[in-house]
């Protein structure tokens, strides 16, 4: 019986000769080698199924499988989505969306050659650092700057270039895991630096740093606890205190800010987040921070500080391995220019969202809810900044809640069904489910996307009326 099922399988040539496959080849121009490979894979899969007791699939089924694989391969897997989750810097959704100017800058540079590492005046090889260094120095007051591909690699580069085979003193309460198993103790080991922990989890004083300094000490390092917060009986040496200890002992101070921020977050009703400018003013030797979090730009690791130290990082062989590419460099420059021009809260999406007044949020939430024609309501809620920034810090918002608590359909919560339908839209819409309700937050959605949201909610309301 099984042997006959194997014999019923079509040949590769039969699959490729099918009119549906020929049509795909004519309309899309797929190479013959790709078709052969996919046909063989489908037939091999069918053989395994037959060996497990299944019947032989018909020729049409094999052809349908091959055609589906072809279309899947050419369909972009990385797609834009609308983030209505209420987390502004959602790591799973790509963190900070870029401004129109940053997006345009990327397109212009990507479409043609550029003077990335070419000095137009001298006609000789140049440096990619010069395009962004002056802007960063103007914004932060630092003597020099360097940009790499992300903050993790920036910290690794800094420790490797400045502290390899030497000691770096860090508060025990700051020997943290940043995320994705990126742990400060592990980074120290990989860089060749030796971690010296001082103080306790909840209390570290300036004297603890001073007492740990030896002839082998290369740096004192502050690591901002950007994704958690200690409360209760807590004491932490200030950055100024650490710099004072370093200055008196001729030891460099490094500051890993993680998210990094150029604006005073307290002006927007948020908790205080260390600003890059404050780190520089305090006298830190080298400061590290991200470009794609509160800066609101593309993924990047930004390094600013004293010229003699930053120059060591630029000359280190690892700098080439972690350098930023031309496309993200162009987007970062455009983003930083917004700060220079004082227009960050009007142009940079994450700051536009943070600065949006509650009245505007409420107006949009009501419009979304009305579109649902009785299947949603507006409730009070909170928006998280996210992305390893401002742990526990939230902004007030208005949420559109869809579904009823505890109401299920065939064992599945209705809010999950609606959430899946929104994710299946041409432009997927991502919300969050809480207490059996789907919540959509206008604060994390740019007004330009409201038309797409409203059209999707109209479809949802129509389906709910039909009882689907």
User: Quick one: 147 and 276 in the same domain?
Assistant: yes
pLDDT given at position 164:
92
pLDDT given at position 393:
76
Whether the pLDDT of residue 1 is over 60: the answer is: no
pLDDT in tens, 309-326: 999 999 999 999 999 999
Average pLDDT, the chain: 90
pLDDT given at position 73:
85
Q: Would you call 303 helix, strand, or coil by DSSP?
A: strand
Higher pLDDT, 373 or 132: 132
User: Quick one: 38 and 138 in the same domain?
Assistant: no
User: Quick one: 271 and 216 in the same domain?
Assistant: yes
pLDDT in tens, 240-261: 999 999 999 999 999 999 888 9
Strand partners, 315: none
pLDDT given at position 77:
84
User: Quick one: 270 and 205 in the same domain?
Assistant: yes
pLDDT given at position 233:
66
pLDDT in tens, 164-220: 999 999 998 877 666 555 677 777 778 888 989 988 878 888 999 999 999 999 999
CATH of the domain at 444: 3.90.1150.180
Place of tokens 């918002």: 397
Q: Of 181-195, 221-235, 335-349, 367-381, where does mean pLDDT reach its minimum? A: 221-235
User: Quick one: 170 and 234 in the same domain?
Assistant: yes
Q: Are 96 and 261 in contact (CB under 8 A)?
A: no
pLDDT in tens, 141-156: 999 999 999 998 999 9
Q: Are 429 and 422 in contact (CB under 8 A)?
A: yes
What Å distances lie between residue 4 and 52, 308, 423, CA to CA? Answer: 14, 77, 43
User: Quick one: 195 and 318 in the same domain?
Assistant: yes
Among 347, 382, 416, the domain boundary falls at: 347
User: Quick one: 297 and 386 in the same domain?
Assistant: no
Residue range 402-431: mean pLDDT, rounded: 80
What Å distances lie between residue 219 and 6, 102, 195, CA to CA? Answer: 69, 36, 10
Q: Are 135 and 338 in contact (CB under 8 A)?
A: no
Higher pLDDT, 409 or 327: 327
252-258 vs 217-223, strand pairing mode: parallel
User: Long-range contacts of range 28-36, CB-CB < 8 Å, 24 or more positions apart?
Assistant: 28/70, 28/74, 30/70, 34/70, 35/66, 35/70, 36/12
CATH of the domain at 211: 3.40.640.10
User: Quick one: 59 and 151 in the same domain?
Assistant: no
Among 288, 323, 347, the domain boundary falls at: 347
Whether the pLDDT of residue 437 is over 80: the answer is: yes
For 95-136, the DSSP string reads SSPPPHHHHHHHHHHHTS---TTEETTTTEE--TTHHHHHHH
pLDDT given at position 180:
56
pLDDT given at position 182:
65
Domain that holds residue 366: 82-89+350-465
User: Quick one: 237 and 252 in the same domain?
Assistant: yes
User: Quick one: 326 and 433 in the same domain?
Assistant: no
User: Quick one: 336 and 400 in the same domain?
Assistant: no
| Percentage of the chain modeled with pLDDT above 90 | 66
pLDDT in tens, 442-452: 999 999 999 99
What domain count does the chain have? 3
Among 347, 374, 394, the domain boundary falls at: 347
User: Quick one: 114 and 234 in the same domain?
Assistant: yes
Structure tokens at 417: 């069904």
> Using only C-alpha atoms, what is the Rg of the chain?
28
Whether the pLDDT of residue 79 is over 80: the answer is: yes
């Amino acid at each position: 019986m099984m042997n006959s099922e194997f014999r019923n399988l079509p040949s590769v040539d039969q699959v490729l000769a099918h009119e549906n496959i020929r049509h795909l080849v004519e309309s899309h121009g797929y190479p013959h080698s790709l078709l052969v490979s996919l046909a063989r894979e489908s037939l091999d899969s069918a053989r395994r199924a037959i060996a497990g007791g299944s019947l032989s699939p018909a020729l049409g089924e094999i052809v349908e499988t091959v055609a589906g694989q072809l279309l899947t391969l050419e369909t972009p897997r990385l797609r834009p989505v609308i983030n209505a989750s209420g987390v502004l810097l959602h790591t799973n959704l790509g963190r900070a969306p870029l401004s129109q100017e940053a997006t345009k800058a990327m397109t212009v540079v990507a479409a043609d050659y550029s003077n990335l590492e070419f000095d137009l005046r001298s006609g000789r090889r140049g440096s990619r650092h010069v395009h962004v260094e002056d802007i960063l120095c103007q914004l932060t007051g630092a003597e020099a700057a360097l940009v790499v591909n992300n903050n993790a690699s920036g910290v690794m580069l800094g420790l490797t270039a400045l502290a390899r085979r030497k000691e770096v003193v860090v508060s025990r309460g700051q020997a943290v895991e940043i995320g994705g198993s990126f742990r400060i103790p592990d980074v120290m080991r990989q860089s060749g630096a030796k971690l010296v922990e001082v103080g306790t989890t909840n209390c570290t004083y300036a004297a603890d740093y001073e007492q740990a300094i030896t002839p082998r000490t290369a740096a004192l390092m502050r690591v901002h606890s950007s994704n958690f917060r200690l409360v209760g009986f807590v004491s932490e040496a200030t950055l100024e205190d650490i710099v004072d200890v370093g200055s008196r002992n001729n030891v460099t101070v490094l500051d890993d800010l993680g998210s990094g921020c150029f604006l005073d977050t307290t002006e927007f009703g948020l908790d205080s987040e260390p600003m890059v400018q404050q780190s520089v003013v305090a006298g830190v030797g080298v400061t590290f921070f991200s470009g794609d979090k509160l800066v609101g730009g593309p993924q990047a690791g930004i390094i600013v500080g004293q010229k003699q130290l930053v120059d060591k990082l630029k000359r280190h062989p690892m700098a080439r391995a972690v350098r930023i590419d031309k496309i993200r460099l162009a987007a970062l420059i455009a983003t930083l220019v917004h700060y220079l021009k004082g227009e960050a809260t009007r142009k940079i999406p994450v700051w536009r969202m943070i600065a949006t007044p509650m009245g505007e949020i409420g107006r949009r939430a009501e419009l979304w809810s009305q579109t649902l024609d009785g299947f949603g309501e507006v409730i009070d809620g909170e928006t998280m900044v996210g992305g390893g920034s401002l742990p526990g810090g939230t902004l007030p918002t208005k949420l559109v809640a869809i579904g009823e608590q505890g109401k299920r359909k065939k064992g599945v919560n209705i809010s999950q069904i609606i959430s899946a339908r929104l994710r299946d839209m041409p432009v997927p819409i991502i919300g969050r489910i809480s207490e059996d309700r789907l919540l959509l937050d206008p604060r994390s959605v740019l007004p330009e996307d409201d038309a797409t949201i409203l059209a999707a909610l109209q479809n949802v309301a129509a389906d709910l009326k039909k009882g689907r």
